[in-house]
Structure 1
Amino acid sequence: MLDIARELSRWCARGRDFAVATVVAADGSVPRPPGAALAVDTDGTATGSVSGGCVEAAVYELCHQALSTGETLLERFGSDESDPFAAGLACGGTIDVLVTPVRAGTPGTDRAAATFTAALTAAARGEPVAIVRSLDGPGSLRGQALLVRTDGSHRGSLGGDDRLDRAAAREAHALLTAGRTATVRIGADGTRCEPAITLLIETTARPARMVVFGAIDFAAALVRVGTFLGYHLTVCDARSVFATRERFPQADEVVVDWPHRYLDSQRLDARAVLCVLTHDAKFDVPLLERALRLPVAYVGAMGSRRTHHERLRRLREAGLTEPELARLRSPIGLDLGARTPEETALSIASEIVAERHGGTGLPLTGTRNPIHRDPPPPRSRRPDDAGTSRGRGRARAFG
């Protein structure tokens, strides 16, 4: 539900009761990942999506059912060729959907509603939070929620043993730190012993950073695309005449500094994206010497193939190893035949998305790879890198 927190927080503020359907598990080719949500209020207003259209109508009705009965439901949608009228996924995958009623009109007397409201309000403000809900187990866990913050503190309760809340908070804090949404199995007493229950832990993290070095027209186009993709955008250039707020109104930050010096001052996580568009050795070499040794998601540099080979020569002279140089995406972007700054920005963004999800960059026509697949494992860090900047079944109620 945290992916639609902004709208749901407004509903909470107005005291509007609603039911929220959340994808809790996905198998095979599916349109939306775990965490995707659709919410429906008592007036029938809907926001969000769980399937991109395939089963929205059926989930909409489940939300109405949950609002009417007050019961939390768990529903599976797949494909059922034997029943042409069944709601299902045309793509052939399977999703499990959790439907939870939220009595936002009575947060003062409903502990779960107060917890949901606090989580949605915090997420709408951009604060990293985690919300924990049970997918099975005793009826006392039905519809309850636990809010966990980055400092490890928690609010609300899953409705069981206090040890369960503490264990769930520890699991949620770990996933919150990693910026991941997942399900975990925990014993009802907070241990790993059976009988265990399954918890859905949704997290929302601060936007990943994209740092664009080189305040040129291609950078302005990349800032627009990066903003559309949800990145926190920084433009950095040593030349104050080019690095201005007027030229980059959509950037979150515009910094006048030498690129390598600015990079040294930052603490970047494993989701960060660095795009070097200066194609000037006096900027590029000291910057890339540092960037290629950081555990970030992507490092790309603009320039012709001749510029690229000369840059590699200088970086080798600076002491970079072949595995470090192999991380450099240069010339930056996918081969789209791009000419304009906007087309080039699309080319760069396409490579970043492909790198994030393990895509090939090839046309889907003629390929046999799954369209939707799990992302590749994160790049392994060197020991000294850690911690540095450097078809549908019958709906069923829980319990």
Structure 2
Amino acid sequence: MREILPALSRWYAAGEPFGLATVVAVSRSAPRGPGAAMAVGPGDQVVGSVSGGCVEGAVFDLAKEVVESGEARLETFGYSDEDAFAVGLTCGGEITVLVRSVSPAADTSFDEVAASVAGHRPVVVATVTDGPAPRGATLAVWPQEISGTLGSQGLDAAVTADARGELAQGATGLRHYGPHGERREDDVTMFLQAFAPPPRMLVFGAIDFAAAVARIGAFLGYRVTVCDARPVFADPRRFPDEADVVVDWPHRYLRGTDVDDRTVMCVLTHDPKFDVPLLEVALRSPAAYIGVMGSRRTHEDRLARLRDRGMEAGELARLRSPIGLDLGARTPEEVAVSIAAEIVALRWGGSGSPLADTAGAIHPPRLKSV
């Protein structure tokens, strides 16, 4: 839902109610995961997607009905063998969608949640999907405060405790409770959607390739920082507005910035005086991906220099160099696609092979948080 929040915030600020449809559960080969969202606003404006096109028409109609009635709806869509032209997922999967009406009167905490997501502050939104609690009721949970109610103090307390446990991981999914917060499987079903701060992409080396990598990193949802020790190259005018540009020695900047196991690093300088001290720090960080630009000969020289500094084989094995997948890329934009493809493949456990040459599920389970 993060990508459609700007439009939702505009409608909310104008006092315009809108229908918000959120995927709360999936099975088999569903094209979008839990948390994917679509909204229908004033003048029948549509933003977002819940299935990549398979059931959007039905969800559009449903959202308009929900805005009119004010009553939240829970619907499941799947492929129909009896009628292939019926509303359903031709990929053979199944999605369950919660549709609720959002307005300043019905959801007083929505603007606070939107501001937190935009400001990279963690928040969890818990929504009743089924059971004796009011369907569509929401509770927003931050590390130190909550807003809203699910209908009972016990349920609010139990969900708040679970939501705060999910804040660090950014996990999203269904949870089950008794009407007063007891751990039971047959009463209230809640959808907990965690908005963790976006993962970071650190791009070292403000060369022409870096601008293209920064653009595609921002497109993929990363918070991008470009760092170079040379002010003439680290000029913010050369990079997309979404990227922070830092003038500093890369290894010194890296030592002083936050890195976690979702962070990806793209080292594009291919200059030993920058790369070697930087990689000595990077390879001892929890970063999910460390890709380094350069030829195979450059990489062998780089490995030798790092060994001389005491780096061990297990640490060096984390390097992905030459950076990117083999796409035959030449231009900066093509190289950026190659790098992004490698990051996405690592994130989801993909092989990088053409789908036509593979078998099994197209959308494998998530393996890494990159």
Q: Identify whether the pair has TM-score above 0.5, normalized to the shorter chain.
A: yes
Q: How far off its partner does 1:226 sit?
A: 1.6
Aligned to 1:163, which of 151, 154, 173?
154
Aligned to 2:135, which of 139, 142, 165?
142
Residue 389 of structure 1 corresponds to which residue in structure 2?
A: none
Aligned to 2:145, which of 114, 135, 153?
153
Residue 28 of structure 2 corresponds to which residue in structure 1?
A: 28
Unaligned runs of 5+ in 1: 380-399
Say whether residues 1:299 and 2:290 are aligned partners: yes
Residue 331 of structure 1 corresponds to which residue in structure 2?
A: 322
State the one-letter code of the partner of 1:213: F
The separation in 2 between residues aligned to 1:318 and 1:197, in whole angstroms, is 57
Q: How far off its partner does 1:339 sit?
A: 1.6
Q: Deviations over 1:261-283 (max 9, x none)?
A: 11000111221111111112222
Q: Please show how residues 46-125 of structure 1 align to structure 2 within 5 Å.
A: 46-102=46-102, 104=103, 107=105, 110=106, 113-124=107-118
The separation in 2 between residues aligned to 1:72 and 1:56, in whole angstroms, is 17
Contact 2:215/2:240 (8 A) holds in 1: no
Q: How far off its partner does 1:196 sit?
A: 4.6
Contact 2:269/2:293 (8 A) holds in 1: yes
Contact 2:349/2:368 (8 A) holds in 1: no
Q: How far off its partner does 1:249 sit?
A: 4.7
Cα RMSD for the two superposed structures: 2.1
Q: Deviations over 1:182-226 (max 9, x none)?
A: 222233332324655321111223322111111211112212222
Say whether residues 1:261 and 2:252 are aligned partners: yes
- SS in structure 2 at match of 1:374: coil
Aligned to 1:363, which of 351, 354, 359?
354
Question: Once structures 1 and 2 are overlaid, which stretch shifts more, 368-377 or 335-344?
Answer: 368-377
The separation in 2 between residues aligned to 1:77 and 1:179, in whole angstroms, is 26
Q: How far off its partner does 1:30 sit?
A: 1.7
Say whether residues 1:200 and 2:191 are aligned partners: yes
Q: Please show how residues 8-27 of structure 1 align to structure 2 within 5 Å.
A: 8-27=8-27
Pick closer, same or farther for the CA change 1:169–1:219 going to 2, 3 Å.
same
Residue 132 of structure 1 corresponds to which residue in structure 2?
A: 126
The separation in 1 between residues aligned to 2:42 and 2:202, in whole angstroms, is 43
TM-score by length of 1: 0.87
Q: Deviations over 1:364-399 (max 9, x none)?
A: 1121142212210459xxxxxxxxxxxxxxxxxxxx
The separation in 2 between residues aligned to 1:62 and 1:249, in whole angstroms, is 38
Pick closer, same or farther for the CA change 1:28–1:63 going to 2, 3 Å.
same
Unaligned runs of 5+ in 2: none
Q: Please show how residues 159-308 of structure 1 align to structure 2 within 5 Å.
A: 159-160=151-152, 162-193=153-184, 195-250=186-241, 252-308=243-299
State the one-letter code of the partner of 2:287: V
TM-score by length of 2: 0.93
Contact 2:218/2:243 (8 A) holds in 1: no
The separation in 2 between residues aligned to 1:123 and 1:363, in whole angstroms, is 35
Aligned residue pairs, count:
370
Q: How far off its partner does 1:355 sit?
A: 1.0
Q: How far off its partner does 1:119 sit?
A: 2.4
Identity of aligned residues (%): 53
Residue 350 of structure 1 corresponds to which residue in structure 2?
A: 341
- SS in structure 1 at match of 2:162: helix
The separation in 2 between residues aligned to 1:253 and 1:116, in whole angstroms, is 28
- SS in structure 2 at match of 1:221: helix
The separation in 2 between residues aligned to 1:347 and 1:226, in whole angstroms, is 12
Question: Once structures 1 and 2 are overlaid, which stretch shifts more, 16-25 or 222-231?
Answer: 222-231
